[in-house]
């Protein structure tokens, strides 16, 4: 599969997973869903392209993933805090939950392909 195809699949999986989990955690407003969608369109390809460009192996790859995911959680938490107004969970907690869920979905997807 091409790099572009791989990035589009991971983005679609992330959007589906995080949208579902956002709903489960109480996100209901259209504006909030648009923010969740927009932040994923921004951060997911950016992280995946960066990881592909680094082309790391072994422990260094896992360190880069952990570092990148931490940065994404912080960025998305800030985006949620700035643009979503009231949320059922604190923005950074919601960001962490959303990203853990999509990361786990990605691991499951990778196990089956």
At 29-45, the pLDDT tens digits run: 999 999 999 999 999 99
Over range 1-14, report the average pLDDT. 91
Over range 11-23, report the average pLDDT. 97
In this prediction, residue 88 carries a pLDDT of: 86
**Cβ contacts of residue 14 below 8 Å, gap of 6+?**
40, 44, 102, 105, 106
As a whole number of angstroms, the distance between CA 80 and CA 63 comes to: 26
As a whole number of angstroms, the distance between CA 77 and CA 102 comes to: 15
Per-domain boundaries in the chain: 3-112
Structure tokens at 53: 């460009």
1 has a pLDDT exceeding 80: no
In this prediction, residue 51 carries a pLDDT of: 95
């Amino acid at each position: 599969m091409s790099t572009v195809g791989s990035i589009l699949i991971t983005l679609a999986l992330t959007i589906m997973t995080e949208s579902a989990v956002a709903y489960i955690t109480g996100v209901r407003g259209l504006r909030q869903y648009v923010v969740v969608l927009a932040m994923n369109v921004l951060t997911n390809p950016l992280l995946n392209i960066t990881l592909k460009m680094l082309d790391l192996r072994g422990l260094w790859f896992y360190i880069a993933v952990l570092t990148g995911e931490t940065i994404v959680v912080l960025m998305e938490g800030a985006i949620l805090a700035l643009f979503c107004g009231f949320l059922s969970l604190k923005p950074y907690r919601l960001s962490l939950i959303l990203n853990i869920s999509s990361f786990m979905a990605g691991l499951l997807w990778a196990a089956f392909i």
